[in-house]
Structure 1
Amino acid sequence: MAENIDVVVIGGGYAGVMAANRLTQRDDVTVTLINPRPTFVHRVRLHQLVGGSDDAVVDFGDVLADGVRLVVDTVARIDAAGRSVTPASGGTIDYDYLIYAVGSGSADPQVPGAAEHAYPIADLEDAERLRPALDAVSASAAVTVVGAGPTGIETAAELAEGGHNVTLVCGGVLGPYLHPRGRRSVAGRLAKLKVTVLDGPGTMVTAVTRDAVRLADGRELPSELTIWTAGFGVPDLAARSGLRTDALGRLLTDETLTSVDDDRIVAAGDSAAPSDLPLRMSCQAAMPLGARAADTVLSRIAGEQPAPLGMAFVAQCLSLGRSDGIFQKASKTDVAQWFHIDGRPGARLKEVICKVIVKHLAEEAHKPGAYRLHRTASPAKRRQLLEANGKTLDPVGRVS
């Protein structure tokens, strides 16, 4: 009788769920998914939760394969030598292979007063705490959103469309990722929603108080409610467990997503740093990385050499309220291009994409191995990017 193989997946986000579902292709693999919540968080809708148009959660029964064992807990430590993890609630769970997909959350703000007086919005609990605080202020109250990346822009637009008096503090450029044409479109929509946009070098936030935000250029903005979207961080589980990480704390891997310290540990999603050259933190990267991580484990089980990572970015999508949005085309190496679709068609396209994300996970749950987008990615593009950063890829996916 064939020996059973235990695979533990830490994290039930886009990458973790994709990986867990895909691993069920083999009958001799037992998959355990450890996640701190009993429901799947559709993170790209968290700004809608705050605005009141969506609850941003999906039942795991709708996206997780029946054969995956769900453990609702957090992991306190990984024992790589002993091939086990220690849940916060106690005990240990052994593994033959581990997929590290702990995701990302709000970065610890270094700005004085931000941790005490500003509301982050990076995870479900953050958004659930913000919602009643928003309901408690009047429509005319000054609401400040700090950070003009996708989360900040979408949150500012959502709240302004709901009638709130919103100021978006960029701390630099509005939508740094966007092409200048796309940026002008977004700025125009925010202006129509009466969002006050403060950009430029003087708009770095230097302090947050209970009722104000101070900027580097000396201005002090009244703010009855401050929302912090400036930057993401990752859990420190890998570092605490003695595994090598990049400067942000993402697990260092080779191009097959295998840990540089242990070939039984594979990473995926926002918490992975392949060749110390990670992909942009996004759902668009997380699901292909989850599929690739699962394929790496399945290849190792089969005694085959795992395939290296490819790149297949397509676009960045932003909702600008419920009736407007933008689809910003990108190159495969994730550089914004001039082409974009905005207005109501952009909003419809963003909504379709949000639904397709869940559909992809559900399809993989019911037919593991069905997802193939990561296999259409180009390893050659990734190789070119590595070479441009002075890295050389060997035949087994390691760089030097």
Structure 2
Amino acid sequence: MSNKNEVVVIGGGYAGVMAANRLTQRDDVRVTVINPRQVFVPRLRLHQLVGETHEAVVDYQEVLAEGIRLVVDSATRIDAAERRVMLADGGTIGYDYLLYAVGSHGAEPRVPGAAEFAYPIATLEAAQRLRSVLLDTPATAAVTVIGGGPTGIETAAELAEQGRKVTLVCGGVLVAYLHPKARRTAHKYLAELGVTVIEGTDAAVTAVTAEAVELGDGRRLASAVTIWTAGFDVPDLARRSGLRTDAAGRLLTDETLTSVDDERIVAAGDSSAPSDLPFRMSAYVAYCLGAHAADTVLHRIAGEEPTPVDLSFPAMCLSLGRDAGIYQLGHKDETAMRLYFSGFVGKKLKEFACEAGIKHLATEAHKPGSHHLFKDGKHRPALLRAQRDDTTASVGRTTSAPR
């Protein structure tokens, strides 16, 4: 019988790879990563794949520690009672500890015609398909990008820089995280690239057809290729496995990132909901949570009490083509500062952030335990106190209500 602690990581993205590498600090731990692809996908590069300026893939040999077993397959169910993971190919993998890092994917559009006629971009396969479609589409044809988040802006800018006629449709404001000054700068760069921006409540998309996009105010935009970037969802693996999740399907955990149902299951990244207060989705947050999740597992193996997560990195960066970008600094309460970097400096900082993510994973592969988190200290504890106060008040109102 093996004397190794078998740790299975479901998901080979930023969170899963960081966690897997960090777990190799102990010689008595054997790590298996389950991932549906043979390559690592830096998803924040997918708009570049569509624009033919990056392939958006990295060989796992560059970012995954030697000795980690990679199983190219998809997990279909977690049997927590038996401590095993069922795979799509019919096999199973047993574990002593499970690290749940299944990530996120593009939200299924609910607008009539969108699922049939709009192209998503949130996965490698979707981005590759979209690039192929664009290669077969004349450069003069109208392209509509739906979604005013970073992915929508970056995709619109990337394609406009190629000389394509691009319209960006946003049902709210462009990148809500940005300070109004930075948002005006983003508008300026998009205008310089020739992107037509339609935003506001009247710009809500009501239907998508093969040739057009219809808006709430009755406008009909001609569109040869429509790209859907609005919203993200998480896989329903936890819910299907009988584990408690939040309303969006993220695995519910305590502040150590341990499942509220099973201390042998720990979660990280976009698919985790510590204290039902999930962190903002980003590559940086994902691999930091991966590091903390691994530390939680290592503490449990050592017979030690795991520590609560303490994480903050209030910033956002986005590219606007290959020559400009915005790097927005923020407060720890996730509101934007007036301070941001734009233009060439913003572009360089965005590129540095993209490269740094891969470098952090590679460094952890060679020196497990080396990654350190930016600390929060005050903001998250305050959120937790407010949540507890709201819960207590709700219980008080319920118990004092007349019968």
Count of equivalent residues: 391
- 1:382 is aligned to 380
Gaps of 5+ in 2: 392-403
**TM-score normalised according to structure 2 size:** 0.95
Work out the CA distance in 2 between the residues paired with 1:91 and 1:135. 39
Distance change (3 Å), C-alpha of 1:275 and 1:226: same
1:303 Cα deviation from its structure 2 partner: 1.0
Residues of 2 paired with 1:321 and 1:391: CA distance?
45
Q: Which runs of structure 2 are paired with 1:312-327 in the superposition (5 Å)?
A: 312-327=312-327
CA distance in 2, matches of 1:162, 1:275: 45
Contact 1:311–1:332 (Cα < 8 Å) also in 2:
no
Aligned to 1:178: 178
Tell me how far 1:217 sits from its aligned partner: 0.9
User: Following TM superposition, by how much is the alpha carbon of 1:332 offset from its aligned partner in structure 2, in angstroms?
Assistant: 2.4
Distance in 2 separating the partners of 1:115 and 1:129: 15
Q: 1:392 to 1:263 in 2, by over 3 A?
A: farther
Matched with 1:156 is 156
Matched, 1:208 2:205: no
The range that moved more, 220-229 or 311-320, is 311-320
1:266-316 Cα distance to aligned partner (Å, 9 max, x none) = 000000011111011111210110000000000111111111011312310
Separation in structure 2 between the aligned mates of residue 149 and residue 291 of structure 1, nearest angstrom: 27
Alignment map for 1:1-400 (pairs within 5 Å): 3-373=3-373, 376-390=374-388
Change (3 A) 1:390 1:181: farther
The CA distance in 1 between the partners of 2:4 and 2:132, in whole Å, is 48
Which letter maps to 2:378?
A: A
Query: Which stretch of structure 1 is more off in the superposition, 383-392 or 355-364?
Result: 383-392
Per the alignment, in what secondary structure is the counterpart of residue 378 of structure 2?
helix
Task: Kindly provide the CA deviation profile for residues 151-173 of structure 1, in whole angstroms up to 9, marking residues without a partner as x.
Answer: 00000000001111000000111
Q: Taking structure 1 as the reference length, what is the TM-score of the superposition? A: 0.96
In 2, Cα distance between equivalents of 1:255 and 1:334? 19
Q: Give me the whole-angstrom Cα distance separating, in 1, the residues matched to 2:27 and 2:311.
A: 30
**In structure 2, C-alpha distance between the alignment counterparts of 1:273 and 1:244, rounded to whole Å:** 10
Task: Give the C-alpha shift of residue 2 in structure 1.
Answer: 8.8
Letter in 2 for 1:182: A
Q: Name the structure 1 match of 2:398.
A: none
Structure 1 unmatched ranges of 5 or more? 394-400
The DSSP-based 3-state class of the residue aligned with 1:32 is: strand
Percentage identity across paired residues of the two chains: 64
Query: Using the alignment, how far apart are the partners of 1:354 and 1:327 within structure 2?
Result: 12
Alpha-carbon distance between aligned partners in 1 of 2:176 and 2:388, rounded to the nearest angstrom: 25
SS in 2 for 1:276: coil
- 1:312–1:333 Cα contact (<8 Å) kept: no
Q: Secondary structure at the match of 2:317?
A: strand
Q: SS of 2:31's equivalent?
A: strand
CA distance in 2, matches of 1:90, 1:367: 35
Q: Which amino acid aligns with 1:386?
A: L
Q: Which amino acid aligns with 1:330?
A: G
CA displacement 1:60-111 (0-9 Å, x = unmatched):
0000000210000000110000000011111210000000000000111111
Equivalent-residue separation in structure 1 for 2:324 and 2:19 (angstroms): 33
Letter matched to residue 368 of structure 1: P
Q: Which runs of 4+ in 1 moved over 6 A?
A: none
